[in-house]
Every structure is written in structure tokens, then in C-alpha cells.
Structure 1
Amino acid sequence: MTLLKGRIGSSLRRSSVFALGWVLSACTTLGPNYQEPEVQWLAQWQPDLYGQLSSENSQEAIDLAFWWQLFDDPVLNQLIHISKQENIDLRLAGLRILESRAQLGIVGSTLYPQLQQLSGSVIAAESRRRGGLLPDKDQGLINYQAGFGLGWELDFWGKYQRSIEAADAAFFSSVANQQNMQVLLSAQVTDLYFVYRTIEHRIAIAKSNADIQQRSFEITEKIYQEGQESELDLQQAKAQYLATLSTIPKLEMSLTTTRNALALILARPPGEIAELTVSSVKSLPKVDMVNLQHIPAHLLIRRPDIRSSAWQVAIQSAQIGIAESDYYPSISLSGTISWSGSTADAASDNGLIGVGPGFTWNIFDHGRIENNIRVQDARFQQTLERYQQTVLSAAREIDDAAIAIVKTSEQFVILEQAVQASERALSLANTRYREGYSSFQRVLDAQRAVFSRTEQLVLNRGEHVRSVVSLYKALGGGWTEHSIDELMPPPLKEIMEKRTDWGELLTTPNIESTENTAAELEPEYGASQYDQ
């Protein structure tokens, strides 16, 4: 009974030591606690986007997550859907989320005993003794030993806790980066799609004008052969017709390169895209007003790239605390249990149980620790400055896109009138030429004006659409939260699961260790300074 009490008391003492370690590890966390970076000017930045913001009472606001639906183009909707399933860059962004989750698991393990090592060995030896005073003797023996070692550096100064905070922030940053890739992907597909449609229109205009000019050339050629006109009219008509015809191959080349760029986004080899050949060429859309649910400042701070930049600040903030922990001693608990024996004559079996604290302290570092803290602090300030720059760049993108929408709309009205006037002038020039009141040069000038003004009108409409795309991209629209099934296509998940045991990382959308940190670090937008 006395022996049992002694063992119980010894176990209680060891448990007390471990419990004390846990308590001490939660006492101190060095370094600054992360705070959401503030943008002083953003709360007062309430632009009307040059009149682009419409009243929510008059029209239904556009869902930013699916902003491209305002163009009401089924082909575009289908292409974006395909791109979000097949695009390789988006898939890589999803894989980086998995990587960061696995990295978080590595860092989280540092809160537990870092050394948990089981060791053992068996050595067979044979000895021979010949000559000398002692009698000759041959002997074989086996030495064997086994042991278990435990080493636990207590997180007395919060070094490991800060590492976990940094890994948490890196995980959220990878999520934001994947969302930002969705934003870029939606904008790229929409932009390339309408560039493709614009080029199709330009080719159609060039062919139409080439047909008109070809007829004029054939008429002048017939008249010249009859001796009624000079060769000058013939050559001028021919030159203008061929000049217009020569623009078509370059446009067709641009059409092919644009299609190939779109195919790359869709993860397809260069070639025909069946979806683009479904519908005939139709007029490019015109968006007169932008309908938003929130003010631009509120939307701006939610842009995924800005959120990612904020998480980079959090990552570097934790690095300062990690660097400061090097100033202080590393306190650890260690223990070992071992057993050894031998088959040699008169050899005994030996057992050892040992446990106790220890510490190491770099007291002379010649300024290394201090300067490392300075390095981490300088990097922290750099992330803050980059965050401010990211917000400023985002605001500029919004403003640039908004003014482009307004001015391309104004230009469209003028160009539309110019096209109508050019077409009327061509009609009058043809009439006057047939009646002999003007030279053929007037007809050629009028044809050239119609071609030029019509193409400018199509280019303007294309620029207007691209400006709308740029605005919604600048507002951070086009992303949704993805589950793990959406991040990883089933065939890819199956391949990875066959190659490596991923546990629950490929089945659960989130991991519990990030939830509390998310609640602590992620700002509450409903009560932020930008909602005032």
C-alpha cells in the first residue's frame, strides 16, 4: 500500500508539472496584437461615380457575385461557368488553400511535446580471446535496449502561439487569394468575350464596306472600258477597295488570338470554341446605369485582394512576437524511460526513468536578436504601406472605370449621329455622281467616312462594355464562397486521395482551429468605420 501511495503521489507530481506548463504557456504572449489597418480617408470617400449610382428604389440592385448577368447573354454565362470549373489558375489557388491548411496543422502541433521519440536497438557480438595469461575463450552475446524520450518546450513567451496566428492568417489569405482569382477570372472571361464580339463586328463592317467599294470599283471599271471615265477614277476606286479588304486579315488574326486567350482560360487547347459559334453576331450591350447595394467605400474594403493584403499584415505582426521571444530563455520539460540488457554472463537488466525541467538562454547574441526584431518590424510597416497602396489603387480603378463609362456613353451619342450623317452623305454623293453633278472623288470620300465612323462606333461600344467590366472588377465582384468540393474537382480529389492520406482536409470545408482566430481577426463590417 505504501508503494502504491508513492506511485500515486509521483504521478500527481508529474501531472502537476505538466499542468503548470500549460498554465505558464498561456501567461505571456510577446509582440503586438493584430489590429485591422485603418484607412483614414475611406470613411469620407463617398463618390457618386459620376452619376453612375442609380436609386435602389427605381431598379433592382445587381448581385455583385454574378454581375455579368446584367448583359443578359447566355453564352457569356456559360463560358464563365465553365471557366470556374476548369481554369487551372483557379485550381492552383484552391490547392494553395489545402497547402495552407496542412501547414496550419504542422504549426499547431508545436503546442504539444515537440519530441516524442521511441528508440531501440539490438546488437549481436562475438568475442574471441587468444594468448596471454588468461585462458582462451570464445563468447557470443546480444545487447539490447529500448527507450522513450519526451521533450516539451513550453510556450512561455507565446512564440508558438504567434506562429499559429501567422499560419491562421496565411490560411485566410489563401482563401482571399482564391476569391480574388474568381474576380479576375470573371472579368477576364467577360472582357475577352466582348473583345471577340467587337472584332466580329469590325470584320462584318469591313466586309460590308468592301462589298460596297467592290461594286463601285466594278462600275468605274466598266465605265472606263467604255471610254467614259479617266483611269484616275478607276485606280482610286480600286485602291480604296483593296485598302479596306486588307484590314480583314489582321482583324481575323486578332480574332484568333483573342479566341486562343479565351481557350487558355477555359483550360482548352487552341482551336474553335463551340460556345462562340452558337449564336450569330448581335449588337454589343449598352449599360446606362450601375446598380449597387452598398456605397463604394463599403464595397472597396471587401475586395478580396484588400482582404488578402490585410491578412499579410496579420502574418507579419505575429513575426514580431516570434522574434522578441528569442530575448528570453527557452524553458522545457524532458523525460525519458529506457531499458537495456545483455545476454552476457553476469550482466543485469537496467531500467531508467527520468523527468525534469531545463532551460537554454542565449545571453550573448551581439545584437542579432535586437536587429532581427527591427527587421520584422520594418517588414511589418512595409505590409501596412502595401495595404494602404492597395486600397488607393482600388479606389483609383473604381474612379477610372466610372468616368470611362460616362464618357464612352457621351461619345456614343455623338458617333451615332456622325454615322447617320456619313451614310446620308454617301447617299447624296452617289446620287450627284450618277446625275453628273459631282466627281467620283466625293463618292470615295463618303465611302471612306462611312467605314471610319461605323468602325469608331463599334470600337466605342466595345470600350463602353470593357469599362463596365473594369468597374465591377474594381468593386471586387464575381466571387462566391467555395466548398472543398468546388475547390477540387472530383477526379482531382480522387487522384490526390489515392496518392496521399489527406484525412478530413479533402472532405470538410473548414477546420476548427481557424474558426476562433477568424472571429478574433476578421473585422465586423457591420460595425466598421466605413459604415458611418
Structure 2
Amino acid sequence: MSLCYRAVLAPLATLMLLAGCAAVGPDYVAPSLPATQLPARFDELPAGLGPGSVEARWWGAFDEPALTGLVQRALAANHDIAIAAVRLEAARAMLRESRQGFLPRGGPALSYENRRWSEVQTPAGQSRQNETYRGAVDASWEIDLFGRVRRSVEAARAQAGSREALLRGVQASVAAEVAATWFELRGIEAELAVAADTRQSQRDSLSMVERQVNAGAATEFDRLRAEALLRSVEVSVPELERRRDASVNALAILLGEPPQRFTPPAAEPGDQALALRTIAVGKPTALLWRRSDIAAAERALAAATAQIGVETAGLYPEVQVQGSIGVVTGSLDGMSGASALSSFIGPMIRWSLLDTGRVRARIAASEARAREALIVYDQTVLRALQETDDAFKAHGAASNTLRLRLLESAANGEAARLARARFSEGEGVYLDVLEAERADYASRRALTAARTRQRLAVVGIYKALGGGWEVCAQARQPCDGASL
């Protein structure tokens, strides 16, 4: 090996050893929250909630095969999930690109030059016309002496992790939206059934009053009141049908299907009360990894911290090794000769000392963005605690409301039956029948709405806990959304 090459490679070997020792900028440390922000356990849980691991496939607790099928279809065909999956794919591609910074750059280079020199530029005895053929392999390699490339890889890895967490969040959100839309649809259909049953009952009541009018036992005023009550029931049907169609369309979009071609599955008749085993809600600390928004915020903080190092590296020299090997000749015939062989290798150092002010400004901006990311992380954790507490309280209120609505509906139903029986036997006045039937209809609709709210409250708990995406993390479950 020539003395020249030894003089170049010896310091290069030293620089390569130093490159693996340091990286400028702060090293990332996962944030820790005070105990006042993240309690050890959930206190004062309403009835029906308890400790234990949160169920991943939570929609199975409703024991509705139709709902389970809808959730699986949505996870495999939803467009929002597909968008999040593609964004994750792009982030992983950027991570692969950033890792290429550790490797040399370059490749084959071929060139041809035909130059005519001026008479002043041409040395005595040489031709003014000059041709040059060049074929070589050029390469350059940045020695990551101060960790710019390493910090760039750290930032890209954290950004990919944030995208992965966001994908999990979309998967969990879609599962919850499918369940909520399904229960809203079932609730509207139940209200339509109540309206149809009441409408038939009111028609029978109107016929009875008309017979009483003909027999002289009732007045025209009684008949008009009976007809008005029938019309008030009928007038609620068009709006309920509109809401039902809107829910069907929303469900179709969640499943990635055209609304015009979608037909929801038939629901099996359910009980008046939702029979569920105790819902396990886990511990608050589990929210840090289960809630995708918290995980995404933590990864965003890691990326912002790594970016400080990327910008800080701009204060230090950039060391590169450049090299080339090939042939340079004045004709094509001479390219095969040993005399045409050309090569060089040498380090190059760039140091933008005049740009120090700009670099420090970028560092300050990166540090501010890292502080912002930490604040966002803290805020995300607090909001997660708020949402879970709200969901727990909503579940307790919905369960109590449903219990009271069941008692109210039973009482109003019996009162309406007794009022009709008394009037048909010639006792009492028809005004009592009208009031009792109006109260019965209102309480039956309110009971149906209470059942729906109880189911939605359960869905809200699982959504607040961030559950559902764990099913997608397991193998053999298509969860990447709509295919291209």
C-alpha cells in the first residue's frame, strides 16, 4: 500500500472508531408522571365495573353474532383504517431511508466531454480540440462522528412508532363506532316497533270510541281526542325511519360499502336489560400503553427529542470520505489500457461556521417543539383519565336510568290497561284513557332509549379504555382496512 493511502486511511480508522462513541443532543428518557396525575387504581367504580384485565375482543361480551361479524368486516374494509395503515407504511419507508445514511452513496458514472480550448488556453504544441471519456464508480460516505445520522434514525423510528399507535387508535375507534351505530340502529328499530304496536292499539281504541259514540255512551269530543292521539303516534314514524336509514348508511360507510347496496344483518330479539358480566377496567397505569393517543404522543415526544440532536450536529464539522475508481482516456480505444486507470480517495470536512446563528435558531426551535410535545403528552394523559371517569359515571347513570324506566313503563302499561277496561265497562271517563295511553306510549319509547343508552355507555367505557386493537395485534385477523 502506498504511503499516500496509508496517510489517508489511518486517520479515517480513528474517525470511524470515534463515530460510534458519541451523539450530540439529549438522550431520550420516557416521561414520568406524578402520582397525583396517575392514580394506582380507579376509585369508586359504579356497579358492574371491577378490576382485572380489559377484554381485547370486548364486543363479544354483548353475545351478538351479528355485531361480531360487523366489527370484523369493518376492521378488514374500513377506509380510515386503510389510510392510517398506508401512513404507517410511508413512515416505515422513511425509516428505511434514514438508515441508509450509515452506508456509502454513489454508483457508476459515465461521461463524455468534447472541449475546444481557446488559443490562449492551449499550451504550446497541443491540440485545441480535446476529447475525454470517463467511466468510474464514485462513492461518498459520511462518517457520523457527531451522531447526526443516528439521531435522524431515532427520530424516524419514533415517528414510525407514532404512526403505528395512530393506526391502533383508528382500529379501536372503528370497532367502537360500529358497535355504537349498531346499537343506535337497533334502538331506532325498537322505537319503530313500539310505534307500530301503539298505532294498532290506538286504532282499536278509536274503533271502540266510535262504537260508544254510536251507542250514545261517548261524545264526538271523545272520538276526536282518540283520533288525535292516533295521529300523534303516526307522525313520529317518518322521523324514526329517517334516523334508521341514516344509521344504516353510517354503518355501510364504516364497513367500506356503498350505502345503496348495503343491507344490515337481522338482529336477534334482545332482553329488556343488558345482561353483561362485570366489566374489567384494569388500572390507570395500563392506559399508558393501551390508549393509542397516549402512545402516539409519547413517540412524538421521542421524535422531537431526537430532532434536537439532528439540529445540534449542525454546529460541528461534517466529515465525509470520497473516492472514485475508473478509467479516464482521450479515446474509446484507450479505455482498456492500464495507463487509463484513475482513482482517488480522501476525506472532506465541511464546517459551516458562518451559519452558526441559523443552526442555533433551529436548535432553539427544536427544543421548543420538544417542550410542546411533553405538554401535549401530559395533556393527553389527563384527558384519558377524564374520559374514563366520564365513561364510568355515564355507565352508572345509564344503568340506574334503565332500572327506573323499566318500573315506570310497567306501571304506565298496567294503568293504561285498567283505564281501557274501566271505560269499556262504562266506568270512568275517556280522558283517563287518553292520559294513560299517552303516558304508556311515552314511557315505552323512553325505555327503548334507555336500553340504547346503556349499551352505548358500555361501548363508551371500552372506547375510553382504548381496547380493541389488541385483536388486530394478534395473528390471523385482517385489520388493515380497505384494499386498493
In the TM superposition, residue 81 of structure 1 has moved relative to its aligned partner by 1.3
Letter in 2 for 1:47: F
Secondary structure in structure 2 of the residue aligned to 1:107: helix
Task: Give the counterpart of 1:176 among 165, 177, 180.
Answer: 165
Q: CA RMSD in A?
A: 3.1
Q: Which stretch of structure 1 is more off in the superposition, 140-149 or 326-335?
A: 140-149
1:335 equivalent in alignment to 2:349: no
1:20 equivalent in alignment to 2:49: no
Give the conservation status (yes or no) of the 8 Å contact 1:176–1:305: yes
Task: Give the counterpart of 2:135 among 140, 146, 166.
Answer: 146
What is the alpha-carbon distance in structure 2 between the residues aligned to residue 484 and residue 358 of structure 1? 52
Task: Give the counterpart of 1:352 among 342, 346, 350.
Answer: 342
In the TM superposition, residue 250 of structure 1 has moved relative to its aligned partner by 0.9
Letter in 2 for 1:32: P
TM-score (norm 1): 0.81
Relative distance call for 1:344 and 1:330 in structure 2 (3 A) is closer
In the TM superposition, residue 332 of structure 1 has moved relative to its aligned partner by 1.8
Letter in 2 for 1:432: R
In the TM superposition, residue 326 of structure 1 has moved relative to its aligned partner by 1.1
Task: Give the counterpart of 1:121 among 85, 88, 111.
Answer: 111
In the TM superposition, residue 99 of structure 1 has moved relative to its aligned partner by 1.6
Give the conservation status (yes or no) of the 8 Å contact 1:28–1:158: yes
In the TM superposition, residue 126 of structure 1 has moved relative to its aligned partner by 11
Secondary structure in structure 1 of the residue aligned to 2:240: helix
Relative distance call for 1:361 and 1:425 in structure 2 (3 A) is same
Task: Give the counterpart of 2:389 among 387, 390, 399.
Answer: 399
Task: State the identity as a percent.
Answer: 27
Relative distance call for 1:118 and 1:344 in structure 2 (3 A) is closer
Task: Tell me the residue number matched to 1:519.
Answer: none
1:243 equivalent in alignment to 2:223: no
In the TM superposition, residue 434 of structure 1 has moved relative to its aligned partner by 2.3
Task: Give the counterpart of 1:264 among 241, 245, 253.
Answer: 253
1:374 equivalent in alignment to 2:385: no
1:157 equivalent in alignment to 2:146: yes
- After TM superposition, list the pairs within 5 Å mapping 1:102-113 onto structure 2: 102-113=93-104
Task: Tell me the residue number matched to 2:122.
Answer: none
Relative distance call for 1:300 and 1:443 in structure 2 (3 A) is farther
Identify unmatched segments of 5+ residues in structure 2: 118-126
Task: Tell me the residue number matched to 1:50.
Answer: 45
Greater RCO structure (CA 8 Å; 6+ sep): 2
Relative distance call for 1:229 and 1:276 in structure 2 (3 A) is same
Task: Give the counterpart of 2:32 among 32, 38, 41.
Answer: 38
Secondary structure in structure 2 of the residue aligned to 1:36: coil
1:322 equivalent in alignment to 2:310: yes
Task: Tell me the residue number matched to 2:280.
Answer: 292
Task: Tell me the residue number matched to 1:505.
Answer: none
Relative distance call for 1:11 and 1:123 in structure 2 (3 A) is closer
Give the conservation status (yes or no) of the 8 Å contact 1:103–1:167: yes
In the TM superposition, residue 226 of structure 1 has moved relative to its aligned partner by 5.0
In the TM superposition, residue 402 of structure 1 has moved relative to its aligned partner by 0.7
Letter in 2 for 1:36: A
In the TM superposition, residue 283 of structure 1 has moved relative to its aligned partner by 3.2
Task: Tell me the residue number matched to 1:385.
Answer: 375
Task: Tell me the residue number matched to 1:69.
Answer: 60
Task: Tell me the residue number matched to 1:205.
Answer: 194
Secondary structure in structure 2 of the residue aligned to 1:34: coil
Relative distance call for 1:264 and 1:488 in structure 2 (3 A) is closer
Q: Any idea what the Cα deviations from partners look like across 1:457-492, whole Å, max 9, x if unmatched?
A: 111111111111110111111112156994658x95
Give the conservation status (yes or no) of the 8 Å contact 2:315–2:359: yes
In the TM superposition, residue 173 of structure 1 has moved relative to its aligned partner by 1.6
Letter in 2 for 1:430: R
Q: Which stretch of structure 1 is more off in the superposition, 12-21 or 361-370?
A: 12-21
TM-score (norm 2): 0.88
Task: Tell me the residue number matched to 1:217.
Answer: 206
Give the conservation status (yes or no) of the 8 Å contact 1:75–1:275: no
What is the alpha-carbon distance in structure 2 between the residues aligned to residue 150 and residue 300 of structure 1? 46
Q: Any idea what the Cα deviations from partners look like across 1:156-194, whole Å, max 9, x if unmatched?
A: 111110000011111222221221112111111111111
In the TM superposition, residue 96 of structure 1 has moved relative to its aligned partner by 2.2
Task: Give the counterpart of 2:218 among 219, 229, 241.
Answer: 229
Identify unmatched segments of 5+ residues in structure 1: 1-5, 128-137, 496-532
Letter in 2 for 1:358: M
What is the alpha-carbon distance in structure 2 between the residues aligned to residue 268 and residue 46 of structure 1? 42
Secondary structure in structure 1 of the residue aligned to 2:381: helix
In the TM superposition, residue 355 of structure 1 has moved relative to its aligned partner by 2.0
Give the conservation status (yes or no) of the 8 Å contact 2:8–2:346: no
In the TM superposition, residue 301 of structure 1 has moved relative to its aligned partner by 4.3
Give the conservation status (yes or no) of the 8 Å contact 1:94–1:487: no
